[in-house]
Chain A
Amino acid sequence: MTPLLQVRDLTKRYGARLGCGDVSFDLYPGEVMGIVGESGSGKSTLLNCLAGHLAPDEGQVIFDTRAEGPVDTLRMSEPARRMLGRTDWAFVHQNARDGLRMGVSAGANVGERLMAVGARHYGDIREQAVDWLGRVEIAEDRVDDRPRAFSGGMQQRLQIARNLVTGPRLVFMDEPTGGLDVSVQARLLDLLRGLVREMGLSAIIVTHDLAVVRLLADRLMVMKSGAVVETGLTDQVLDDPQHGYTQLLVSSVLQV
């Protein structure tokens, strides 16, 4: 099987400081990978490099495109990469406000991606928007409300609907449950897990919350100071951490 995403020796420096260094991994279709680490460990830098939001200094990000097979997205033309960002890729920001258009209605937020890939029939766009709002548990009568009028959890679900409406194959998530209270987090995780399984999505989830990766991720990558210190199956890494930092991370989780 061809990996959906092959990352080779990805390095990003901020001047003399290292953002992330020599990261390599393969992600197969349907697989969910978690990236954990403390603040400043380079996990968001890595995610932004993968998603094309930042230009890495070295390395390759090879994505298995529908039309041409594996292509290095860093060497792609910008229009093609942006097109990928609207179709096969999705990016869920930690802050829903970064990923939503706050000035337009929920329906338009979901419809924007459809219109960006050429949908020009209002009735169809609206039907799909309502359908997707339903799938993320937002009532149909909220379709014309602006995201400002939504709670934080609803905004995050709306962002997810907006990202998944074009049927992407790879979803990047940057702390999708950050800033939400625990009960809302639980529902969101439940929803995400359902959608990921149902749509057969591949996902890369950046988080510092080990519970999130335990629930969602098949595989885990632990980062510290810009480098990957440990990788493996999620349960294996969390139950039997090898690296000192991972052991610290696992033992730092508060028990209720």
Chain B
Amino acid sequence: MTAMQHDPAYNFAYLDEQTKRMIRRALLKALAIPGYQVPFASREMPMPYGWGTGGVQVTAACLTPEDRLKVIDQGADDTTNAVSIRKFFERTAGVETTEHTVQASVIQTRHRIPEAPLTEGQILVYQVPIPEPLRFLEPRETETRKMHALEEYGLIYVKLYEDIAHNGAISTAYAYPVKVEGRYVMDPSPIPKFDNPKLESAAIQLFGAGREQRIYAIPPYTQVVSLDFEDHPFEPSKADHDCDLCGCGTSYLDEVITDDAGGRMFVCSDTDFCAARQAEGHRGRLSGEDAA
């Protein structure tokens, strides 16, 4: 397992050393104040906003030549976004990459937390589109900052109230607001609320929002509470099915439309988790068929 050589035209992991130091300072501050959004001087990256420019900068600042990187998009290792970013770091950093959660030391993710439990020493980097949980309730950034500073979080419950008033239950299914260490309310990036309990983790979790120029973090073993009402408690939810490929009944599922006659299948969104279970001999409803 010799490390590959990175493209010598680039500095290691694309960003120059000064930029990485600046980001690391922001990361340290973010870890020191769990859930607090630290401003940082986000750079132009060679990819469009929305592709994970924040996550890529955080990953670049964290990577060492000895790291092994995994990149997932919606849980999958083989989607455009994941493949592109993995190739980007293979070329600019020359680090090893993997698709196995347990083998990775740095995992950059978009919209999911891997099913396999994360361990101490691992770093999970999230790509964040909108870091401000109060954004759509209070458009003034000066005001939301003040609300965070003064811990005035009544407004975030207005959203949950609206959900119940219109839908009978808290219908927010992703980017479900959480309170970190009893202090800051945080947007956990658009992960499904199924993943919210996994935010209390042994791994370091870093959140990078490139366009919005914010970094925030959850240190290992930090208390993360999903907000709710006393009479409408938080419930992590998932599709009420088993995986059609590996038969797992506890993982988060994607629904895949298979034909134009109402045919559909449910598969684990975490491709590594699903493949590992299939390799162990677990079978689902559609295993063996060429369903897709």
Binding site for B on A (CB under 8 A): 78-79, 82, 86, 101, 103-105, 107-108, 111-113, 115-118, 120-123, 125-126, 143-144
Q: Give Cα distance in the complex from A143 to B165, angstroms.
A: 9
In the complex, the answer to whether A121 meets B229 with C-beta atoms within 8 Å is yes
Contact B229 A112 (CB under 8 A): no
Of A82, A103, A107, the residue contacting B161 (CB under 8 A) is: A107
Residues in B whose Cβ lies below 8 Å from that of A79: 150
> Given known contacts A108-B165, A115-B157, what 4 new A-B pairs fall within 8 Å (CB)?
A111-B158, A122-B229, A126-B161, A144-B166
B289 at the interface (CB under 8 A from A): no
The answer to whether B165 and A105 have CB atoms under 8 Å apart is yes
CB distance from B87 to the nearest CB of A (A): 41
Question: Within 8 Å CB of A121, what residues of B?
Answer: 229-231
User: Judging by beta carbons under 8 Å apart, are A116 and B155 in contact?
Assistant: yes
Residue of B nearest to A121 (CB): B230
Give Cα A138 to B164, complex, Å. 21
Tell me what chain A mostly uses at the interface: helix, strand, loop, or mixed.
helix
Q: How far is the CB of A72 from chain B (nearest CB, A)?
A: 20
Contact B154 A115 (CB under 8 A): yes
Q: Which of A78, A117, A122 contacts B232 (CB 8 A)?
A: A122
Alpha-carbon distance A78/B150, docked complex (angstroms): 9
Least Cβ–Cβ distance between B201 and chain A, in angstroms: 26
Q: Contact at A117–B154, with CB atoms within 8 Å?
A: yes
In the complex, A142→B136 CA distance in Å? 23
What are 28 A-to-B residue pairs whose CB atoms are below 8 Å? A79-B150, A86-B154, A101-B137, A103-B136, A104-B158, A104-B159, A104-B161, A104-B162, A105-B162, A105-B166, A107-B161, A107-B165, A108-B165, A111-B161, A112-B158, A113-B154, A116-B155, A118-B154, A120-B229, A120-B230, A121-B230, A121-B231, A122-B229, A122-B232, A123-B231, A125-B161, A126-B161, A144-B165
Q: For the complex, is B152 an interface residue (Cβ under 8 Å from A)?
A: yes
Chain B residues positioned under 8 Å from A144 (CB to CB): 165-166
- Whether A101 pairs with B158 at a CB distance below 8 angstroms is yes
Contact B152 A82 (CB under 8 A): yes
**For chain B residues 151-174, which have a beta carbon within 8 Å of chain A?**
152, 154-155, 157-159, 161-162, 164-166
